[in-house]
Amino acid sequence: MTAYPDTSFLCALYRKQDNTARAIAHRDTMKEALPVTALLLFEFRQSVRFQTWLHSRDASKGYGEREGAAMLAHLQGDVESGFVEIVPPDWAKVHSRAEQLSAQHTRKGGHRGFDILHVATALELGAKEFLTFDGRQTTLAKAAGLKVKL
């Protein structure tokens, strides 16, 4: 495995935003399927559902149900076609590594639990690169020895 993404990368792939062109350009250069875990897919899908809920309460926030459904359908199509591959890490090892990262870096960098889990997952899966547009994720991934792309 060469590169592992975080949720910000998936969001840029599946919803038009400032980083979309960069995410697509990078994905188009990858020679392998985009690896994801069930946890990463859950966080992405939950984020989409939350944004549609926000929009249903206040139209100036989030995005509409149709857009959210299209994002989820696009992702599911990519999973079914093999463009995105669900990989199973050893979760006990991921959790152990996440605990180490948390103890070493959270007090200095204010890292959130899912962010730490994504970096720990990338390390456990043997990724050399981490795909993110998130500043704190970038800091943590670099501190953990990963090359950050994008």
* pLDDT reported for residue 1: 72
**Average pLDDT of span 46-55:** 97
Identify the helix (H) or strand (E) that includes residue 149. Answer: strand 147-149
**Average pLDDT of span 39-65:** 97
- Strand 84-86 with 34-36, pairing: parallel
Cβ-contact 10, 21 below 8 angstroms: no
* pLDDT reported for residue 150: 77
Measured CA to CA, the distance from residue 102 to residue 112 in angstroms comes to 9
**Average pLDDT of span 10-29:** 95
Measured CA to CA, the distance from residue 3 to residue 23 in angstroms comes to 13
Domain edges within the chain: 3-149
* pLDDT reported for residue 105: 96
**pLDDT above 80: residue 44:** yes
**pLDDT above 80: residue 55:** yes
pLDDT digits (tens, 9 = 90+) for 56-90: 999 999 999 999 999 999 999 999 999 999 999 99
**Residue 26 CB burial class (10 angstroms; 0-12, 13-18, ≥19):** buried
Nearest to residue 118, comparing CAs of 28, 54, 60, 43? 43
pLDDT digits (tens, 9 = 90+) for 94-111: 999 999 999 999 999 999
* pLDDT reported for residue 132: 96
DSSP string spanning 101-128?
HHHHHHHHH---HHHHHHHHHHHHTT-S
**pLDDT above 90: residue 149:** no
Architecture of domain 3-149: 3-Layer(aba) Sandwich (3.40)
Mean pLDDT estimate for the chain: 96
* pLDDT reported for residue 58: 97
The CA angle 35-104-102, to the nearest 5 degrees, is 50
Measured CA to CA, the distance from residue 123 to residue 94 in angstroms comes to 8
* pLDDT reported for residue 3: 94
- Strand 129-131 with 3-5, pairing: parallel
